[in-house]
Structure 1
Amino acid sequence: MPSLEWIEPVIRDAQERAPDAVDVPIVVVRVDQQRLYVWERGQVTDIFDVSTSERGIGFEEGTFKTPLGLHRIAERFGEDAPRGTIFRARGDTGQIADILTEPGARSPRDNITSRILWLDGLEPGINQGGNVDSLRRYIYIHGTDEEGRIGEPASEGCVRMRNDDVIELFPRLPVGTVVTILDGPEVPDLS
């Protein structure tokens, strides 16, 4: 298990900047590690491997990069959908994806599968408003049919998870859950 000393200041910062998010977990995505941490009841309860953008970090619409900063879950889709269900425009297509588990295996398209947690940026000018708006950029945490690429940057801006992982996590993350996306272990300046 990686050292988690870095996470408590990150959690305190998120709680201070999103004080209305009480009694819900806080999710921290570390781009440098390709991991998602779940903070509940004063501790890390889960760590999942993820995949952020293969183009790196960025905020502007059309870059297909993963935005940093403080977000919240604005909407959730797929609650009772079967594992591997393919979504288009957040709608269930009725199709089930072939899940590719071989390392590096690529699907013909960027399929969004199983569950969707749609993120809304909370930082004006960084991930909210104008051409940097995470909600308008359709930045999600979602399942993927390219599971063999989890753990390395491979998405088109979203945070991809293995299907079983996002299905397990989905019921625990209600609308309003705070999600902070970091590029490294930097500790926010709380002064």
Structure 2
Amino acid sequence: MVDTRKQSLQIDLSLQQLRVVAGGEITTTYAISTALNGPGEQQGSGCTPRGLHRIRLKIGAGLPENAVFIGRRYTGEIYTPELANANPQRDWILTRILWLTGLESGNNRGGSVDSLRRFIYIHGTPDHEPMGAAASHGCIRMRNSDILTLFNQVPVGTLVDIRETF
């Protein structure tokens, strides 16, 4: 059994990968999608912030796969292609949310670079969205089945290191 107190996450922006690391070993690798606009910390940039973060909150425990969130609240909807066609403007946040808080003052914490206030999450996305390619508005998107697994595996407080490359 893995000691979850020693787990951390690595997000490699160049490879579009999220890795679970336990005891210094990579235990799992997931294809992800980070910001189309690339790395960056400024509010309103649409970029994925770099640096050390922690999982501040876990949202969505017990909800069904493809549960739809707006403003971190479950809408009561379940994502379907028909719902997507009726709401083409939505940036779909599905299934689970791992809300990140930055740990580096002036880089990803505080002022106009605060990851928590920028609402930077690791979250599920529609299954037709590409993984392994940058396409998000700043968050880290994952397949719904992958975010379900990760959500159940990592506790609040887990360290998340976001870099351009490892």
With normalisation by structure 2, the TM-score equals: 0.90
1:154-187 Cα distance to aligned partner (Å, 9 max, x none): 10000000000000110111110000001013xx
Aligned to 1:176: 157
Provide the alpha-carbon RMSD of the alignment: 1.4
CA distance in 2, matches of 1:182, 1:50: 14
| Structure 2 CA distance for aligned equivalents of residues 50 and 98 of structure 1 | 21
- Residue 13 (structure 2) pairs with residue 31 (structure 1): yes
Is there any run of 5+ residues in structure 1 with no aligned partner, and where?
A: 1-21, 100-106, 186-191
Structure 1 residue 43 displacement after superposition? 1.3
Question: Gapped runs of 5+ residues in structure 2?
Answer: 82-87
- Partners of 1:119 and 1:134 within 8 A in 2: yes
Q: Which residue of 1 aligns with 2:38?
A: 56
Matches within 5 A, 1:69-108: 69-98=51-80, 108=89
Q: Deviations over 1:91-124 (max 9, x none)?
A: 111111126xxxxxxx642110000000000000
TM-score by length of 1: 0.79
**Matched-pair identity in %:** 44
Whether the aligned pair in 1 keeps the contact of 2:41 and 2:49 (CA below 8 Å) is yes
- More moved, 49-58 vs 33-42: 33-42
Q: Which of structure 1's runs of 4+ aligned residues deviate more than 3 A?
A: none
Paired letter, 1:128: R
